[in-house]
């Protein structure tokens, strides 16, 4: 396979990985809402404030922007941005895993952590 075709295929593969990661996050959020209702937006007994909701939204934007970035950014920028963003999300989820009590949450977090590691390796090898 010519190098240019390989590079373009890798872009698409990485973009799909980022979309899959976003869908795992969204699935967990939807199931959590279904399980807990309005209690899903409660942290330490207090309703989530606007700043907490904004931070959650910004974290969810990372995979969306990275899916676009993998396709449209120059390879070097996309490569390093992908590695850094995936590691940031990995760290955030590792520290947040203790806060999830549901089995489905833990399974989805484990899958997202594995996918984050895969994205780091696959992007590094690009």
Q: Which residues are registered as beta bridge partners of 67?
A: none
CB atoms closer than 10 angstroms to residue 75 = 12
Structure tokens at 23: 């869908």
User: What pLDDT is attached to residue 38?
Assistant: 66
Q: Which two tokens stand for residue 90?
A: 């990995």
What pLDDT was estimated at residue 40? 65
What pLDDT shows up at residue 5? 65
Q: What is the pLDDT of residues 52-66, one digit of tens each?
A: 889 888 999 999 999
pLDDT of amino acid 105: 87
Indicate the pTM of the whole model. 0.83
d(CA 35, CA 12): 34
pLDDT digits (tens, 9 = 90+) for 65-83: 999 999 999 999 999 999 9
Residue 47: predicted pLDDT: 78
Cα(50)–Cα(55) distance, integer angstroms: 9
Q: Please tell me the predicted confidence (pLDDT) of residue 8.
A: 87
Q: Which residues of 14-39 are buried (b: 16+ CB within 10 A; e: fewer)?
A: bbebbebbbebbeebeeebeeeeeee
3-state secondary structure of 73: coil
Residue identified by tokens 């937006």 is 41
Residues in the chain where the model's pLDDT stays below 50: none
Tokens of 26: 């969204």
* CA nearest to 122, candidates 79, 63, 87, 74: 79
């Amino acid at each position: 396979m010519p190098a240019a075709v390989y590079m373009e295929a890798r872009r698409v593969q990485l973009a799909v990985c980022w979309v899959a990661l976003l869908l795992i996050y969204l699935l967990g959020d939807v199931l959590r809402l279904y399980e807990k209702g309005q209690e899903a937006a409660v942290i330490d007994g207090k309703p989530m404030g606007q700043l907490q909701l904004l931070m959650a939204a910004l974290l969810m934007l990372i995979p969306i922007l990275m899916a676009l970035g993998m396709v449209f950014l120059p390879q070097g920028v996309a490569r390093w941005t992908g590695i850094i963003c995936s590691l940031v999300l990995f760290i955030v989820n590792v520290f947040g895993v203790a806060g999830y009590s549901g089995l489905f949450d833990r399974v989805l977090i484990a899958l997202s952590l594995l996918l984050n590691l895969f994205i780091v390796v696959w992007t590094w090898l690009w």
